[in-house]
Amino acid sequence: MKKIILSFVLLFAADVFANQTINVQGAGYYPDHYTADAVCAFRNLGRANGYTLWRQAGDVIEGLRSFDGRPYFQREVWRGGMALATVNCSYGGPISISVRNQGYYPDFLTARAVCVFKGMSDAVGFTQFRQAGDVIEGMRSFDGRPYFQREVWRGGMSLDAVNCR
């Protein structure tokens, strides 16, 4: 009997701390996964695990939309009358992604771009690694978006691991 109760308590606790449901009904958020991810990121939570929709009054809606899952919203007008109602956000902590010897420029914007490229919403930190040689030809992002340009730099350092959320 004790084993069954303990198992139930552990399952309940894991479920309580695994997700947080955010009610955004009436806020006019565009009904897609990128915008749901952005709602979670705006509240410093993990990615969206799912969302529900509801039909607002009227067919044409003017609201907010995120095109890449980051918490930056743009005004958007869409038809269909559907908008986000609730978003399930995870409490997940950072995930470490190893990019050692892949030649990424060692700065925060490139680390953020690696995270977005790997499907995460943002970088929370990174480590550097000394590659062989002083001059490195690799990839760099100048604005944090997952679009990389060829870059040559000195110092021998490149990204080692990126912590993403």
pLDDT per position as a tens digit, 88-140: 888 767 888 899 989 999 999 999 999 988 877 789 899 999 988 889 999 99
Q: pLDDT-based confidence at 18, cuts 50/70/90?
A: low
Per-residue model confidence as pLDDT tens digits over 20-39: 889 999 889 999 989 999 99
Q: Where are the domains of the chain?
A: 20-90, 95-164
Q: In the prediction, which pLDDT does 7 show?
A: 40
Q: In the prediction, which pLDDT does 12 show?
A: 42
Q: In the prediction, which pLDDT does 92 show?
A: 67
Q: Are 19 and 46 in contact (CB under 8 A)?
A: no
List the one residue out of 61, 69, 70 whose CA is nearest residue 29.
61
The DSSP secondary structure of 8-76, one letter per residue, reads HHHHHHHHHHHEEEEE-TTS-B-SSHHHHHHHHHHTT---EEEEEEEEPSSSEEEEEE-SSSSS--EEE
The pTM of this model reads 0.50
Per-residue model confidence as pLDDT tens digits over 133-165: 889 999 999 999 989 999 999 999 999 999 987
Order of strands, sheet of 123-130, starting from the edge strand that comes earlier in the sequence: 95-98, 157-164, 123-130
